[in-house]
Structure 1
Amino acid sequence: MPADPGAPDEVAAAARGFADAVARIEAGELAFPLPGSGRTAERFAALRTVAEAGLSTARLVEGHVDAAAILAELGAPPPGPGERWGVWAAEPPGEGLTAVRQGAGWVLNGLKQYCSGAHSCTHALVTARAGESRRLFAVRVAADGCRPVEGTWGAVGMAGSDTPDVRFTDVPATAVGEPEAYVDRPGFWHGGIGVAACWYGGAVAVARVLREAAEHRADPHTDAHLGAVDVQLHAAWTLLERAAREIDEDPRDDRGEGRLRAMRTRAFVESVCRQVLDHVGRATGAGPLCHDTGHARTVADLGVYIRQHHAERDLAGLGAHLARPEAGR
């Protein structure tokens, strides 16, 4: 599905960045090694770098490389040349998607919310209910019956990620993996840490104005804020690198530590992002937010992006997991 010519500038810019990144991946100029390949730290570093340049573009690129990892893990063909994939797997309350068999294949009907890259992806992996189970399906976004619902993405932060609802009407689909395979596979948790690497890149980008302020004026309060931000970012990246090593040591999650690792890492990186936003805002005041468009956009984008972590709900999930007698520590 081509980019909507009437889309806001931020959507068009993110779509161009997305297409450029995918072209660089295909040319071998930009690498995202698969999780558990022995080079997971390189994957996280690449996601961080893309996010430092632009969070909306990073959201689209992360979806594409996550789709490639999912397809590889579930034994499906990889993205083809020129294809740009998304992963549309959010399942908030509401109508959702249903899948029914039709001949040798499947068709999808219903409404899918939070479909990043709805106007720029060529293909997507989507979750849908198939009877009593949930399955993953591959679809062509340009297929008849697959239509973004205009006006359903009114965000200011992450506006460029182009994440509206999409209406599916008898859309042909190919099942990927067995029922529940999408959430049961080890890579589900590995991928969640990749998202945190993007959050981290956004926090680094937000912190730039604080570092520049400290370099240009001698002020102990500014220095104190910069020191606090540096400690938090250093700790977050150290944790991400440790997570990458552990994933490479146990890519199939035979030790059963993947879920706990992902929940801890995501929660910590999200908390660091919030602290960075707070320190930078308190140290630099309204000036950068009012006069530096790029910084203001990054601040707004990061505030929305980290809400993929569900705050106390996810912390409660972590606590409940730890409270189980068999849980790892």
Structure 2
Amino acid sequence: MNAPVIHPSIGADAAAGWPVPGSGRTRERWQALTDAARRDLVGARLLEAHADAAAILEELGGARVRPGQLWGVWAAEPPDPVVVARSTPDGVDLTGRKPWCSGAHSCTHALVTARVGDERSLFAVDLSSPGVRPVPGTWHAVGMARSDSGAVDFDAVPAVPIGAPGEYLTRPGFWHGGIGVAACWFGGALAVADALRDGAGDDPHRLAHLGAVEAALYAAECVLDRAAEDLDARPCDGAAAELRARRVRAVVESTASEVIDRVGRALGAAPLCTDARHAQLVADLSVYVRQSHAERDLADLARAAQAGRERA
């Protein structure tokens, strides 16, 4: 599989140095992700994980990301298969299969979740280690094809624990990172909307769709702005972090879905059939927003909002 393309003007080394969430410059970080996604959505998906890994390592006390490295965050946890960590005389190693590993062939390092008894813990792995094998035939996507997000097998691979057991999920930064993903969705939606901006002309129906798209995009942008201000004011409030992230992701997902739908209804099949870049972009964004769990996430948002009212 061809390696994913990262936009040359915003490379991994620069992304590792973006302001971390809660630093007072959170909006600057999310804007960088949005800009990258508007240019190259798949490349931005890899940059987002790399920047998230750098923030996680800073927050949990791991080694810093070094120039020339490309880190993934491989944290999918289906019931099966699983990766298990075990103690050895030399430290810790990982064995098992991890699905949904973006950059399976191109990442140099990854933060990988693994089971330690009943706990889900985080480990840093050098992917050049013997025993790391991307699994052929596990990534058949059309949308996000270049993200190379297939499964990876680990066979007694040395790993370095990052943070305390379970801390990866319980820290507020877990939710901050989730908004970084939404900032990429927003950039993808802006890119899809460009086709309608360029093709609306003076047709009243296309203009009506464009007006609705502009309103939806503005609403999403305002939500990201407000969330950044709130996060910078309360970076360590875990309950606020979850509710904030779930709200932002719901709004941006809805915006992305509306943009895809309205651009298609306004312009018809032509750009999807004759413009390869636009067709791929729509396919990529349609897959990427499915990192949301749709109604399950909306139900969890409602529960988080109810819990917030009870604490107030």
Q: Which interval holds the TM-score relative to the shorter structure? A: over 0.9
CA-CA distance at 1:252 after TM superposition: 1.2
Alpha-carbon spacing, 1:77–1:327, altered in 2? closer, same or farther (3 Å):
farther
Aligned to 1:269: 252
Aligned to 2:84: 98
Distance 2:72 2:311 in 1: 33
Question: Amino acid of the residue matched to residue 112 of structure 1?
Answer: K
State the TM-score, normalized to the length of structure 1: 0.91
CA-CA distance at 1:104 after TM superposition: 4.4
Distance 1:327 1:302 in 2: 36
Aligned to 2:146: 160
Structure 1 residue matching 2:264: 3-state secondary structure: helix
Q: Does 1:321 align with 2:311?
A: no
Q: Does 1:198 align with 2:184?
A: yes
Structure 2 residue matching 1:99: 3-state secondary structure: strand
State how many pairs are aligned.
312
Aligned to 1:113: 99
State the TM-score, normalized to the length of structure 2: 0.96
Structure 2 residue matching 1:209: 3-state secondary structure: helix
- Give the gaps of 5 or more residues in structure 1: 1-6
What pairs with 1:21-170 in structure 2 (closer than 5 Å)? 21-25=11-15, 32-170=18-156
CA-CA distance at 1:273 after TM superposition: 0.5
**Cα offsets for 1:151-202 (capped at 9, x unmatched):** 1000000001010000110000000000111011110001100100000000
Would the aligned equivalents of 2:6 and 2:44 in 1 still touch at CA under 8 Å?
no
Alpha-carbon spacing, 1:228–1:326, altered in 2? closer, same or farther (3 Å):
closer
Distance 2:32 2:304 in 1: 31
Distance 2:211 2:9 in 1: 37
Of the structure 1 ranges 99-108 and 39-48, higher mean CA displacement relative to structure 2 is found in 99-108
CA-CA distance at 1:59 after TM superposition: 0.9
Structure 2 residue matching 1:257: 3-state secondary structure: helix
Would the aligned equivalents of 1:52 and 1:205 in 2 still touch at CA under 8 Å?
yes
Alpha-carbon spacing, 1:220–1:55, altered in 2? closer, same or farther (3 Å):
same
Distance 2:12 2:307 in 1: 42
Structure 2 residue matching 1:315: 3-state secondary structure: helix
- Percent of residue pairs bearing the same amino acid type: 54
Alpha-carbon spacing, 1:328–1:228, altered in 2? closer, same or farther (3 Å):
farther
Aligned to 1:245: 229
Runs (4+) of structure 1 moved beyond 6 Å? none
Would the aligned equivalents of 2:74 and 2:112 in 1 still touch at CA under 8 Å?
yes
Question: Amino acid of the residue matched to residue 67 of structure 1?
Answer: A
Distance 1:18 1:118 in 2: 20
Would the aligned equivalents of 2:15 and 2:47 in 1 still touch at CA under 8 Å?
no
Question: Amino acid of the residue matched to residue 160 of structure 1?
Answer: R
Distance 1:293 1:305 in 2: 18
CA-CA distance at 1:16 after TM superposition: 4.9
Would the aligned equivalents of 1:322 and 1:328 in 2 still touch at CA under 8 Å?
no
Aligned to 1:212: 198
CA-CA distance at 1:105 after TM superposition: 1.4
Question: Amino acid of the residue matched to residue 121 of structure 1?
Answer: C
Question: Amino acid of the residue matched to residue 218 of structure 1?
Answer: D
Question: Amino acid of the residue matched to residue 291 of structure 2?
Answer: Q
What pairs with 1:287-298 in structure 2 (closer than 5 Å)? 287-298=270-281
**Cα offsets for 1:65-107 (capped at 9, x unmatched):** 0000000000112111211101000112312110001124101
Would the aligned equivalents of 1:257 and 1:328 in 2 still touch at CA under 8 Å?
no
CA-CA distance at 1:24 after TM superposition: 4.3
